[in-house]
Amino acid sequence: MDNVRTVSDTKRDFYQTHTRPINSLYRRVVEEMMVEMHLLSVNVDFTYNPVYALGVVSAFDRFMNGYRPESDLESIFVALCRATGGDPDQYRRDAASIREAASQLSQGDLLALISEGDSPSGDNAFMQQMLQFAQGEGFKYCRLLAIGLLAAIEAVDAELLSRDKELADLLNQLGATLNISDEKLRKDLELYRSNLEKMEQAQNVMADILEAERKKRAEREAERAAKQEAEKEKQAARPESPEKSESESNG
């Protein structure tokens, strides 16, 4: 029997692929996603799907927004996917495809799926995926899939995310259609959105600190330059010594 990969195996593979240190503000985000993706990768009941991919990509992009150095972001994402047995290009490709499919729908299309259990939009990839989920085909609920559902709803109608009651009703109905506990779905997404707000606040604080440090450096450099210029002017205005003048006259 093959040994099941451990979290330690996954972390080791991650840091062998991405060898630079993770910015401290973002380290917890990366490691929590890594653990969650690892646990799903070794769960025999879980099957990769595009909505899950959209959840992974959306969560990564939103939480890692503002990461510095920005050039490390792709390396971190690649390491995260590969360490958990995935293909980073497939994640990006499937996420973009399912988001695009969702953007072609209306809220009415989603409600038709919920009430009628059928797709009014033909071969739309997102609706077909939802129908498969409703039939229990390759479907296992997880937090990242819930985030994918939220990102798809945002693609359908971004304003829905600011209409709390309407969004809650839609999520409850979707949960019932997919046989997901509406309480679990709601709590997972509330926690996700709350954590995003906290990360944005932390990013703003960090940006303010970095800006304050930049201004202090600029002020110190300006003071140093002013002192150097003043010293040059002082030396230029200093009268010549008598010895130097006499030497020049005799010469």
The confidence score (pLDDT) of residue 1 equals: 45
Which segment of 70-74, 199-203, 244-248 scores lowest on mean pLDDT?
244-248
Specify the DSSP class assigned to residue 65.
T
Q: What is the reported pLDDT for 221?
A: 87
- Every domain of the chain and the residues it spans: 7-184
Contact 53, 95 (CB under 8 A): yes
pLDDT more than 90, % of the chain: 55
Taking the C-alpha atoms of residue 223 and residue 23, their distance in angstroms, rounded to an integer, is 32
